[in-house]
Structure 1
Amino acid sequence: MKKWLLAAAIASALAGCSADTQVVASQNAAVASATLPAGIKLLESYAPKSGEIGIPFNKYQLANGLTVVLHQDHSDPLVHVDVTYHVGSDRERYGRTGFAHLFEHMMFQGSAHVADEQHIKTVTAAGGSMNGTTNTDRTNYFESVPSNQLEKMLWLESDRMGFLLPALTDEKFEVQRATVKNERGQRVDNQPYGRMGEVFNQAFYPPGHPYSWPVIGWPEDLDRATSQDVRDFFSRWYGPNNATLTIGGDLDEAQTLAWVNKYFGEIPRGPEVKPLAKPLVTLDSTRYVSFEDNVHLPLVRIGFPTVYMRHADEAPLDVLASILGGSKNSILYKNLVKDGYAVQASASHGCSELACQMSIFALTNPAKGAALAPIEKIIRDSINEFETRGVTDEDIEKVKTEIRAQTIFGLQSVRGKVTSLASNETFTGEPNQVEFDLKRYGAVTKADVMRVYNQYIKGKPSVVLSVVPKGGNALIAAADNFKPTNPAVAKQAVEGLDGHQSLVAKSSFDRNIEPAAGAPVSLHMPSLWNDKLANNVEVMGTQSTETPTTNIVLYFDGGHKLESLAQAGLANLTAQVMNESTQLHSTEELAQKLDLLGASISFDANAFQSSIRVTALTENLDATIAILKEKLLQPGFVAADFERNKQQLLQMLQHQSTSPSAMASEGFDKMLYGDKMYLGVSDSGTLATVPSLSLADAKAFYEQQYTAGNAKIVAVSDLPKAELMQKLAPIAALTGSRADVPEQQPQTMVAKNTVYLIDKPGAAQSVIRVGKLSLPFDAEGEYFKATLMNYPLGMAFNSRINLNLREDKGYTYGARSMFVGGKETGYFYAGADVRADVTDKALAEVMKEITHYHEQGMTAEELKFTQDSISQSKAMDYETPFEKARFIRMIQRHDLPADYIEQQNKILANIDVAQLNQLAKKWLDPQSMGILVVGDKASVKPTLEALGYKVVDMSL
């Protein structure tokens, strides 16, 4: 049901100012309409009526067909710019897949007036963040920047919309093709279950259906592509008439329209784009497919074809998915997870523009058998059980509450609101869909849910996919009875150009001149307050009135550090059990209560603390706090809950033993700290420690960890301090003193010219991690300055390491370096996931960059870039309640002065190249670095030895 995050909106009535909002929006629309630049017309102006939830906006259109949606939000000095093109992998042709995603990469490679790598460097130097994403139905590009940088972002986006082709070279194409292959290797081929979606969809959709191939494309299709194909793809689909420009935030509407007209108005229209047909997908019979993978847990996935996005039956099908497997009070959870047959199980109704599917999956729990046929039977029986159970009034009410809560939480960022407007406009032609969504889900009846069950699910054919470990074919749900038939490879990658062979604009002004930034913005740092509960637990908070929500986090010093090494994983396991039953209510009853409140309470633990995160609608805060108190003070510690979570943890650890990234993290920690210190042993525990953990151990850890003496609270709410403290008063019932945490010292395994190698037979990629112990956290001293020193080496996208390995060599999807500091110690890290066949070359390049930086340091230009980027990014740091809470927790945990950001800014402004290069000489000596590689030992070990390294096998 996460799709309802799409309904992010401004609920003016919730802020108590709907009438004012309407007046302001009307005034803005009138002014904008009266002063519109030539060629722009106002299509629509909207502001929420009293009691209505929606995002105020004005919608315009340029003469070339570009749709422009503007939303004003002056609460923070930032803007979010989104350009969405209505083209995804659905516009590709069979045998020519991967173009939409490949083109997303090409759009960051410079244009006629923007040099190679300049787009990313310009956004980063402006203190912003940016990215692009591709899915089946659309591609979008976005930037979040301080509001004084808006004109510069429009210059960048317009230049690649109208002037990309002159800068597109064969060399750039080859580098980005290699980058996409690396991305596929990292995210698909080298990940457990990574190929699940593409195998499933080939069986689910008819041959040649736009969803029958993966968005990232088939490797052989990427090999088949040419740079001319990419040019044709751009000319066919990237015209302004197939795009929506959405801007939200602290903007002047008249000025913004003038800039939009200047930069985008001269771009010529592209070919006309017609909607794709949406015939409902059907299956003639149930199809069984399977494949073996490097996994530990067998997985079964069952899918039923249903409708398409925004079909009248989408909403009741979503409600059905929620009842079947949407939470801990669902049928599938009860029958599969609660009864111990699966470690995970859920149902969802995923919708895209052309098709939706009801999808059910389960990961087996080998403790009750790994075969998938019994799991499929339980799933089928659970579907039948729904028919007997039916739909309750609470089922419908829960959905309504979830939508309303998620909509309100979606108000908390400009990006969320802009994304909602852009998506709704792209797929419906109407940015304002929020109230419509609330009404269509609110209108769902019990009869509707039973009707769609009978129409789309009951007795209907499905696709059943089994994913089993290597050599585990005997575990599949049933013998394969389907093999996809593929159409012929398309001779042309793109059709329908209709003479638009070269979509390149002509400019009436000099686009080579980068627009200057506006006047510097002022930071909107939260105003903090401190207080204590009656039990002396410290509370630090701030009032944030943009949404009627409250975010609370309780932190308990300890976590993994508080447990003995022989009991590693106990803090984590105890937290998970506390997410279950209490002495008064079952897990299912508590889940239902929270769902009906639109709230969440989550226990967790990490290396140095246990925590409880609470999100609530402020109107329901009292009831949410009552549940928090019950879960904190009266945990059930039910034996069945403990054993189930213990089994889930054990199976998760087994799964991680097949994940290259998880193996690398565990091995890197072990290399840095040794296995005699808590930081060198996974806070999730190990396969050696978790089996011996008992319910008595969890109870004892609870008594030691969850005490008032260990606790501190961070709170962000629309309530003022006094009123919020009254709401938090029940937590004062927590008692207990502070626990003694023993000091531990690292015993690093780092050795000169040594590579620790973890064998991952047949790995498509190798994971490289280089690092050493370094500095603990400080806000104004050497650690902070070291992070500044490292910024141009490996933290920014256009850092030396990333540009070398990704953009120049095509070895990886991404590479980076960083300093990470804790309270006691810290470390330096550099690394990347790289193609297996270039493991030695990639490692050599990483070490070359570190060596050169150690010896030569940064340049004056790099220092200027670092200063610009970091100082201006501060405008982005305090927008949402989550970001405010993170800022407060940093102050609280490290006992920082409230003005520490101001002190950091002074250091940043006054530090010089010599100081930073001295730190590079001190902390980046490559001879002091340890090296870890996770990869195929048979192929990579000889090449690493050929570089002169001693290679030592590491076991986990």
Structure 2
Amino acid sequence: MKKTILIASLFLTVIMQAQDRPQPKPGPAPVINIGKPQTFELKNGLKVMVVENNKLPRVSYNLTIDNAPYAEGDKKGVADLASSMIGNGTKKMSKDAFNEEIDFLGANIGFSSNGAYASGLSKYSGRILELMADGALNSVFTQEELDKEKAKLVEGLKNQEKSVEAVAARVEDVLVFGKNHPNGEYITEETIKNVSLADVLNEYNSHFVPANAYLVVIGDVKFKDVKKSVEKLFSSWKKAVAPAVSYTDPKDVQYTQINFVDMPNAVQSQISLVNVTNLKMTDPDYFAVLLANQVLGGDFNSYLNMNLREAHGWTYGARSGIRGNKYVGKFTASTQVRNAVTDSAVVEFFKEIKKIRTEKVADDMLKNVKAGYVGNFVMQIQKPGTVARYALLTQTQGLPADFYENYIKNINAVTADDILRVSKKYFLEDKTRVVITGKASDVLPGLESLKMPIFYFDKFGNPTEKPVAKKSVPAGVTTTTVLDNYIKAVGGDKAVKAVKTILVTSSGTVQGIPVVMTKKASASNKFLEEVTGMGQTLAKTVFDGTKGYESGQGQKQDFDAEKTTAMKFYANAFPELALANTTGAQLSGIESINGKDAYVVKAGKFSFFYDVATGLKVAETEDLEVQGQKFTKGTTFEDYKDVKGVKVPYKTVVNVGIEIELIASDVKINEGVTDADFQ
């Protein structure tokens, strides 16, 4: 089934437009006046901070329980389950009644195992706080709700198993922190099954306690009223301290190495260079490190992004990140690139890290980075949520009372020498763990040429053997036999040729936006694909058999000669009918797709994968270029169902750096399509 560049182009356009926004221009440093909280503490240990701000008739409450991270062991997921169950009904109100009143008040209230938040109009401030306190302190936990939340968690895990990004993130943390560290352990279906209702209750009772709890209140309220309400609602919270924890801090590898995870379905490689950090917000290096990271990979004009995206066109974004925290963390520099340039991208990462460690940053760049950082800080400080976060961080990170008032001054005081000094300390090149998750058959030969030690791991961070190279094709199997078997598998030559038109309606989400995709194709190589969302057409592709165009976001582009030629072959619902006769189409080998062997047929920029056992097409890839950026789009096909004698995949997953899952709700053969659709 046809999948054009439509969704890929739509997604990449959104990303690129966000990255192309101009940076704030330098201007005079503004005076920062952050509302100072009035404070009090309850006998149970709850610390309360109130910032009166009557600019808007709104109020926000943020309850944070600042416990140290802790490992959950073979019951990993118990905190997640507790988070999802807190507030789902209380001893005073049913779940439905609770949610209905929140909606009636126009409020926003949420809970987790680490606290709660609430916001709304200040005229309802008292009731909003009552609801938040009730949900936090009087939650009812039932087996029925636990079973529902377990099922959701398990389903989420299943959806992640084919996600290169999710697997890469999991393995990175396992390797950097270790499986027994709070940041390194991960949830599995087995650990979820181990969690009982008693475990959830114990988690809540032992960790949802006031000893390290902070309630930050900001908005159109009066301190005395807040104090009275908090004392009334939270004094009954039983005084307790969370269990003490201890664990070994992670260490860097002894020498730079590649840690490789094979994902045969990957159309792009996920690359992450990692080293351990121990940066505190109170460290003298803190502000210099923030700006050094902006120069290296935290800004659109950073070294990494200008190299990998702008100079080479390998990715839509390369970035780096580091945080100040009272616990040991990590520095990462990461991107996604197409398989063919994975090894080259690794070389360029080290080139830019070496540059920032050995060369002073240019004055103009440092000036612009400071201006961007200051501009963002000033914009964020206008938000009540930011003020609340800063008040909380001042307490939990042990910051000076004037930390944020002096923030801009400290940013502007950073010099090029400071950037050079801290880069040598925090951005390592000789003890770097390079975690790469990608398709071994495509990228390993290039990585091996880098002469770095390579260690291999499975999708859960367990050491494993080097992936087996592409399997050879058995004697007698040819391009023609593979394609013939596919036609037989989907219904046979007669049934397939009887398909004159096909209409498929599918739904999914793109960056959280619900979308509907309608596809129409005819046996005469006419094609329509339209994506709608938010009540409008987001993108559209039309081909009438001889010419076509793509449109989206108010722009329209006619097909060039290359695209027209490709569409003449590929517009048909079953291009396999013509593929055997296509010049250059050839059977290249056997590869693993989602754990199953598949024959690979290559034709120009396309690769088609057919299950060795069933004959069905399970995936395809296409090399594309969108807005000057080259990448590979991958599509997998699952859940084949019979429709009027032919099998059609009802589930497709498009991979363009993120995975977009589309589920068919309606498939029609030889109905619902007319020539007028392709105009």
1:157 matched to which residue of 2? 132
After TM superposition, give the deviation of residue 200 of structure 1 in Å. 0.9
Which AA in structure 2 matches 1:72? E
Cα distance in 2 for residues equivalent to 1:93 and 1:665: 34
Which AA in structure 2 matches 1:162? L
2:614 matched to which residue of 1? none
Give SS of 1:670's match: strand
Select 1:141's aligned residue among 116, 133, 149: 116
Cα distance in 1 for residues equivalent to 2:514 and 2:134: 44
Select 1:326's aligned residue among 298, 316, 325: 298
1:398 matched to which residue of 2? 368
Matched, 1:243 2:213: yes
2:310 matched to which residue of 1? 338
Cα distance in 2 for residues equivalent to 1:406 and 1:459: 30
Cα distance in 1 for residues equivalent to 2:350 and 2:548: 35
Whether the 8 Å contact between 2:281 and 2:399 is mirrored in structure 1 is: no
Select 2:395's aligned residue among 402, 425, 450: 425
After TM superposition, give the deviation of residue 264 of structure 1 in Å. 0.5
Which AA in structure 1 matches 2:293? A
| Matched ranges for 1:121-200 at <5 A | 121-132=100-111, 139-164=114-139, 167-185=140-158, 188-189=160-161, 191-200=163-172
Give SS of 1:70's match: strand
Cα distance in 1 for residues equivalent to 2:264 and 2:65: 36
Cα distance in 2 for residues equivalent to 1:190 and 1:485: 10
Matched, 1:96 2:75: yes
After TM superposition, give the deviation of residue 212 of structure 1 in Å. 0.9
Select 1:290's aligned residue among 232, 241, 261: 261
Matched, 1:675 2:528: yes
Cα distance in 2 for residues equivalent to 1:304 and 1:687: 48
Cα distance in 2 for residues equivalent to 1:405 and 1:223: 48
Whether the 8 Å contact between 2:102 and 2:109 is mirrored in structure 1 is: yes
Cα distance in 1 for residues equivalent to 2:84 and 2:210: 19
TM-score (norm 1): 0.45
| Matched ranges for 1:156-555 at <5 A | 156-164=131-139, 167-185=140-158, 188-189=160-161, 191-214=163-186, 217-271=187-241, 279=249, 281-287=251-257, 288-292=259-263, 294-310=265-281, 312=283, 313-351=285-323, 352-365=325-338, 370-428=340-398, 433-469=403-439, 472=442, 474=444, 477-478=447-448, 480-481=454-455, 483=457
The structure with the largest strand share of the pair is 2
Whether the 8 Å contact between 1:208 and 1:487 is mirrored in structure 2 is: no
- What is the identity percentage for the equivalent residue pairs of Structure 1 and Structure 2? 15
Q: 1:407 to 1:55 in 2, by over 3 A?
A: farther
Post-superposition Cα deviations, 1:517-547, rounded to whole Å, max 9, x if no partner, equal xxxxxxxxxxxxxxxxxxxxxxxxxxxxxxx
Whether the 8 Å contact between 1:68 and 1:245 is mirrored in structure 2 is: yes
Which AA in structure 2 matches 1:310? M
The structure with the largest helix share of the pair is 1
| Matched ranges for 1:48-87 at <5 A | 51-87=31-67
Which AA in structure 1 matches 2:651? V
1:803 matched to which residue of 2? none
After TM superposition, give the deviation of residue 272 of structure 1 in Å. 5.0
Give SS of 2:216's match: strand
After TM superposition, give the deviation of residue 437 of structure 1 in Å. 3.8
Cα distance in 2 for residues equivalent to 1:365 and 1:470: 13
Cα distance in 2 for residues equivalent to 1:474 and 1:486: 20
After TM superposition, give the deviation of residue 62 of structure 1 in Å. 0.7
2:10 matched to which residue of 1? none
After TM superposition, give the deviation of residue 96 of structure 1 in Å. 2.7
Post-superposition Cα deviations, 1:900-944, rounded to whole Å, max 9, x if no partner, equal xxxxxxxxxxxxxxxxxxxxxxxxxxxxxxxx96359xxxxxxx9
Whether the 8 Å contact between 1:81 and 1:247 is mirrored in structure 2 is: yes
Post-superposition Cα deviations, 1:72-131, rounded to whole Å, max 9, x if no partner, equal 11122111111112247x323333322322221111212222322443332222111233
Post-superposition Cα deviations, 1:484-512, rounded to whole Å, max 9, x if no partner, equal 99999xxxxxxxxxxxxxxxxxxxxxxxx
Select 1:661's aligned residue among 509, 515, 526: 509
Whether the 8 Å contact between 1:70 and 1:253 is mirrored in structure 2 is: yes
Which AA in structure 2 matches 1:96? K
Give SS of 1:415's match: helix
Whether the 8 Å contact between 2:275 and 2:432 is mirrored in structure 1 is: yes
After TM superposition, give the deviation of residue 671 of structure 1 in Å. 6.1
Give the unaligned 5+ runs of structure 2: 1-17, 19-28, 463-506, 522-526, 557-592, 596-637, 642-648, 654-662, 674-679
Cα distance in 2 for residues equivalent to 1:384 and 1:437: 29
Cα distance in 2 for residues equivalent to 1:666 and 1:475: 40
TM-score (norm 2): 0.62
1:891 matched to which residue of 2? none
Q: 1:415 to 1:475 in 2, by over 3 A?
A: farther
Whether the 8 Å contact between 2:209 and 2:239 is mirrored in structure 1 is: yes
Give SS of 2:387's match: helix
Cα distance in 2 for residues equivalent to 1:221 and 1:431: 43
Which AA in structure 2 matches 1:350? I
Post-superposition Cα deviations, 1:537-583, rounded to whole Å, max 9, x if no partner, equal xxxxxxxxxxxxxxxxxxxxxxxxxxxxxxxxxxxxxxxxxxxxxxx
Q: 1:227 to 1:687 in 2, by over 3 A?
A: farther
Which AA in structure 1 matches 2:54? H
Give SS of 1:193's match: helix
Whether the 8 Å contact between 2:170 and 2:460 is mirrored in structure 1 is: no
After TM superposition, give the deviation of residue 318 of structure 1 in Å. 2.4
Cα distance in 2 for residues equivalent to 1:299 and 1:394: 32
Q: 1:144 to 1:701 in 2, by over 3 A?
A: closer
After TM superposition, give the deviation of residue 436 of structure 1 in Å. 4.8
After TM superposition, give the deviation of residue 685 of structure 1 in Å. 6.4
Whether the 8 Å contact between 2:65 and 2:214 is mirrored in structure 1 is: yes
After TM superposition, give the deviation of residue 376 of structure 1 in Å. 0.7
After TM superposition, give the deviation of residue 331 of structure 1 in Å. 2.0
After TM superposition, give the deviation of residue 293 of structure 1 in Å. 5.7
Which AA in structure 2 matches 1:169? T
Cα distance in 2 for residues equivalent to 1:676 and 1:345: 28
Cα distance in 2 for residues equivalent to 1:249 and 1:688: 56
Matched, 1:934 2:651: yes
After TM superposition, give the deviation of residue 235 of structure 1 in Å. 1.5
Which AA in structure 2 matches 1:212? G
Whether the 8 Å contact between 1:317 and 1:349 is mirrored in structure 2 is: no
Post-superposition Cα deviations, 1:761-800, rounded to whole Å, max 9, x if no partner, equal 979xxxxxxxxxxxxxxxxxxxxxxxxxxxxxxxxxxxxx
Select 1:111's aligned residue among 74, 87, 90: 90
Give the unaligned 5+ runs of structure 1: 3-12, 15-50, 489-658, 703-760, 764-835, 841-931, 937-943
Equivalent pairs counted in the alignment come to 490
Post-superposition Cα deviations, 1:448-470, rounded to whole Å, max 9, x if no partner, equal 22222222334331121222248
Whether the 8 Å contact between 2:260 and 2:436 is mirrored in structure 1 is: yes
Whether the 8 Å contact between 1:193 and 1:293 is mirrored in structure 2 is: no
Cα distance in 2 for residues equivalent to 1:157 and 1:371: 51
